[in-house]
Amino acid sequence: MSGAIFKYYFEGEPMELHKILNELISWETLHQGSAEDIVSEICMNLYSDRGIQARTYFEQLPMWLQDIILIIDFDTELNMNGIIGFLENSSGQYLDETIDSLKRIGADQDYLTLHNIKLILMSSGIDPSLLRANLNNQSEYTISSSQMIHGLDFDEVLDEAENLYLNQDRNIFENLFEYVEMNRSLFIREMEEC
């Protein structure tokens, strides 16, 4: 971003990218807060009305901010709904991007595990991007299982998911905090350019 101010439109009104970024993370926190403070502030704002605006322009956000959002969403879905819930939810629509984010933050074991889950789905003839569509095609109030909806036995996926950090002695947020701390000056420079 070459110092230009990028304008996007939200409900018919122009929004500058820097305003969207400032809705997620304050200058003060980015400059003076710890990596944990930065991730925490983004997380708090992500699940507010401000986050809705940021999600609307997700692809235009800087990669570092996309990484933080994807890791937060991944962790939230895994904790609330497990790996199948993540894959079926809107967060699962960003499976490839989440895999890439895990690699960028240095969560190598989780990167490999999620990549393997994607390969298991694809080798079973399931396009991961269609899992949400399959779920949305169900009638309202229908009681069914993921196996019935997708025609896939998820045992192999669930077995592989046992290798994710939730079931092991590691925490991807430690990787994320290290990534944020190591790249803070880049984050600041990119925000200044917006």
CA distance 147 to 155: 10
pLDDT digits (tens, 9 = 90+) for 95-130: 999 999 999 999 999 999 999 988 888 887 777 766
Which pLDDT value is given to residue 55? Answer: 82
Strand partners, 22: none
Angle at 61 between CA 71 and CA 58, to 5 degrees: 70
Pseudo-torsion of CA 119, 123, 128, 132, nearest 10°? -140
Question: How do the domains of the chain map onto residue ranges?
Answer: 7-193
What is 149-188 written as a DSSP string? HHT--THHHHHHHTTSGGGTT--HHHHHHHHHHHHHHHHH
Q: pTM higher than 0.85 for the full model?
A: no
Label residue 8 by pLDDT band (50, 70, 90). very low
- Topology of the domain comprising 7-193: A middle domain of Talin 1 (1.20.1420)
Which pLDDT value is given to residue 9? Answer: 42
